[in-house]
Amino acid sequence: MRILVFNAGSSSLKFGVYDIPRGGGLVQMQQCFKGSFDRFGAGGCDYRAGLDEGTVTRAPYTDLASATQAVPDMLARAGITGIEAVGHRIAHGGAEFTAATALSAEVLEKIHALTPLAPLHNPANLKAVEIARDVWPDLPQWAVFDTSFHLTNPARAVTYAVPQHWRDAGLRRFGFHGTSHKYVAQRAAEALGRELRDLRLISLHLGNGASACAVALGESIDSSMGMTPLEGLVMGTRSGDVDPGLFGYLSRQMGLGITEIEDALYRDSGLKGLTGSSDMRDVEDRAAAGDADAQLAINIYAYRARKYIGAYAAAMGGLDALIFTGGIGENSPSMRRRICDGLEFMGLKLDHDRNMAVELGAHAAPQIQAYGTRVNVLVTETAEQLMIAREVAQAIRTPQGEALRIPIAVSARHVHLSQCAVDALFGPGYELTPDKPLRQKGHWAARERVVLHGPKGEIANVAILGPLRDRTQVEISRTDGFALGIDAPVRQSGALDGTPHIRLIGPAGQYDTNGLIIAARHIHMNSADAQQIGLSDGDTVNVTLTTSGRGLTFGGVLIRVTDNAFTEMHIDTDEANAAGISGAVEGELSGEAVLRST
């Protein structure tokens, strides 16, 4: 399968062609052509071509339209044929677009409506789509959205504390650079030889646009950009975080209108506002020569990034790896050092020689942390176009036949106990009494019950599920957490490091333990069913209610495959209430398994 990818900006166009070898999977996808047009102007533009990007030449193309229209001839001269689809980067997809989406007239209309939220990006992205549809009228056009990866962010991370009618009008945080953050998180997990769903990562995409992303157990849980790409880190021409009160102040004191202020925050702020230049290379050179404004800009840039690292490590309950990407993240050893200095208290420290000797060819992801430190630090080139090609190919490959339907089970609060917990709660040597068998072979509900005790209240008569485990795990709903007065994280079963403590009370005593979680929705799947639909352990899918409820679609559902599993999906009581579930319910898998890092 061969995919052409466009990444269009207001004054640039990057494109590439990607191919999956015959019989290969998505992870074997390779780039077979690469090109870019930059600095459009009346005299033409700069052009690079070839996998090594070659040398810069001048081309006669003065705008995005003429450059896009020239691509077919360039591909033909390079012997590139057999393109099956065109993928486009779209900056803002709102809350609706969760995956690669075919660009129908209806979808394009919805993307156009989001332009006010990404005024620097969506217009150029849509212009490239319009031209590509004219140039390749017979090829399917697909969109991959910067915002999609962040739609897993919890409500507490995306909700602004503003009046309800503002929120009803769509005011919320979205986050951007999602394709980049998703790729580098997967690449880091691969480089570390670990499963992405076992890691807590912070990705720093530092370029003319800059953002930080917290990736916990395979999902984005927070991002520094907000409703628009203006919030967060200091950028080339964008301010990042500011007090929203400045709008009123500048209006009263300087007579500036909303449009003037907004335009200045987008185009005349950030490094440019602090130094007159939006290029970090220029700023670093001037700082080294003694320019006080440049020195201040560098300190602000690094300080803002360091604050987000600390905040996101706290939000995730720890940090396994920090990833640098983007033009500045990849190419500035001094900025990487400035950002990391002072973080030794959390087990993060750079090695000077490794930081200075970064080589990034062939998708390398070198580690630059000091030997023996706990937190890994990696540098890698982002590969947004490769990720777009993979997601488009994956969407095209999705089976269109009859989907697998599975029962959905509502899992009420319960505990899985270790032997030491049983001894403490029921007496030394006590054996639990299996009472009711569960659908999963070898699992049962015990006759005994326990009480959960928290700082606000207690929950009695909590079920115990067997068999015993090596580590006690307590599963509750979000509502239960408020009743107890404890903020439990959403985790996959067994991912208990950094989870809150809870007190269990039994007839013989009490037992204090961590392991309190809200169980992430998941599917226990029999190996035969998984093979039938082409899924593997660790994939995630979307599941849409088909037989009752409100027609809701659950996203990011983890597949857990075992030979003797009874195939069914487990959700908690809050999710069941939100979906309007009563009685027996089935869900239908969309088949859109997320690409794993291995």
Check: CB of residue 126 under 8 Å from CB of residue 112: yes
Distance CA 178, CA 389 (A): 14
DSSP output for 62-116: -SHHHHHHHHHHHHHHTT-----EEEEEES--TTT--S-EE--HHHHHHHHHTGG
Binding site annotation covers 208?
A: yes
Backbone angles phi, psi at 471, to 5 degrees: -140, 135
Binding site annotation covers 327?
A: yes
Identify the CA nearest to 443 among candidates 527, 568, 541, 545: 568
Binding site annotation covers 354?
A: no
Distance CA 396, CA 388 (A): 12
What is the number of helices (H) and of strands (E) in the chain? 19, 28
CB atoms within 10 A of CB 333: 17
Binding site annotation covers 279?
A: yes
Binding site annotation covers 14?
A: yes
- For the CA atoms of 442, 448, 451, 452, what is the dihedral angle to 10 degrees? -10
Binding site annotation covers 110?
A: no
Binding site annotation covers 442?
A: no
Which uninterrupted H or E stretch holds 103? none
- For the CA atoms of 367, 369, 371, 375, what is the dihedral angle to 10 degrees? -100
CB atoms within 10 A of CB 41: 10
Handedness of CA 336, 338, 340, 344 (dihedral sign): positive
Which one-letter DSSP state was computed for residue 353?
A: H
> Among the options 38, 46, 63, 146, which is catalytic?
146
Binding site annotation covers 150?
A: no
Binding site annotation covers 456?
A: no
Binding site annotation covers 381?
A: no
Cα dist. 36→15, 81, 113, 371 in Å? Answer: 6, 19, 28, 39
Q: 262 Cβ partners below 8 Å, 6+ apart?
A: none
Residue 114, helix vs strand vs coil:
coil
Binding site annotation covers 408?
A: no
Amino acid in position 457: G
Residue 68 structure tokens: 């896009």
Query: Which regions of 136-183 does DSSP assign to beta strands (E)?
Result: 141-145
Active site residue 146: yes
Identify the CA nearest to 227 among candidates 147, 162, 315, 152: 147
Q: Exposed (0-12), middle (13-18) or buried (19+): which is 339, by Cβ within 10 Å?
A: buried
Binding site annotation covers 331?
A: yes
Binding site annotation covers 281?
A: yes
Residue 591, helix vs strand vs coil:
coil
Distance CA 488, CA 467 (A): 24
Catalytic residues: 146
Annotated binding site: 7, 14, 89, 205-209, 279-281, 327-331, 384
Annotated binding site for Mg(2+): 7, 384
Annotated binding site for substrate: 89
